[in-house]
Amino acid sequence: MAPPQGKKKSQGRRKIEMKLIEDENARTVTFSKRRAGLFKKATELSVLCGTQIALIIFSLGGRAYSFGHPDVESIIGRFFNKNPTATVPESSSSSRYRTAMLQEMKEQFDGKSQELETKKKRGKEIEAALESSSFHTTDEELDGLDFEQLRQLRGKLVKMRDEMRRLANANAYAVANVPPMPVPMLNLAQVAKSRGASMIPSDWLKL
């Protein structure tokens, strides 16, 4: 409480060499901070300029963090298909990516459900993030979701699921590694349960 005289509390930010940070601890901290900063910058760019952006980061621990506007899948599809003008090409390729993305999200949700109970929630800017059509899948952001937001996210997933089914029926291609059917079920029930949820309408837990 007492003012520590002229004693500076910190030397403030210092310049660092642009090379691998040796100290494993410092490296982890820097990774977390800069990863957050990078996602923020990417989000801002997509908002300010309305451009399509995809960002994927793998942590040292092997965890994947991603951001996509409007979503990672369509950006990647566009990148490899070299289709500069199409929003989302309704091709077999598109449906393949769509399927892969849905599976991705399912697994992320399943994985999250096991970790959620040991983390506190923070969600502040999540609302805005959800309002745009972007998808954030970082730990922090999923942690910040409250039930209302979770409900909104569920709505989006349902739409995607339906859209995917429509595509799968329209053109049933046999794609390597990704069987066209059945449609993966999102385990929102588990997620909700891990939060100690009890006021969730039981019917909308089933997609």
Partner DNA sequence: TATCCTATATATAAGGT
Partner DNA sequence: TACCTTATATATAGGAT
Q: Is 45 in the site for a copy of itself (CB under 8 A)?
A: yes
CA distance 206 to 150: 13
Query: What's the burial of 131, exposed, middle or buried (CB within 10 Å: 0-12/13-18/19+)?
Result: exposed
Query: Which of residues 81 and 149 has its CB atom nearest to DNA in the complex?
Result: 149
Strand partners, 135: 68
Q: Is 177 in the site for a copy of itself (CB under 8 A)?
A: yes
Distance of CA 21 to the CA centre of its chain: 27
Q: Are 116 and 195 in contact (CB under 8 A)?
A: yes
CB count, 10 Å around CB of 52?
Answer: 15
* Closest CB 195 distance from DNA, rounded Å: 17
Structure tokens at 15: 């310049």
* Residue in 5, 15, 23, 51 binding a copy of itself, rule: CB under 8 A: 51
Query: Which of residues 140 and 163 has its CB atom nearest to DNA in the complex?
Result: 140
Residues forming the site for DNA (CB under 7 A): 8-16, 25-26, 28-30, 32-34, 36-38, 40-41, 122, 139-140
Residues forming contacts to a copy of itself in the complex (CB under 8 A) are: 16, 18-21, 27, 30-31, 34-35, 37-38, 41-42, 44-45, 47-60, 62-64, 66, 72, 75-76, 78-82, 84-85, 92-93, 97, 100, 104, 107, 128, 173, 175-177
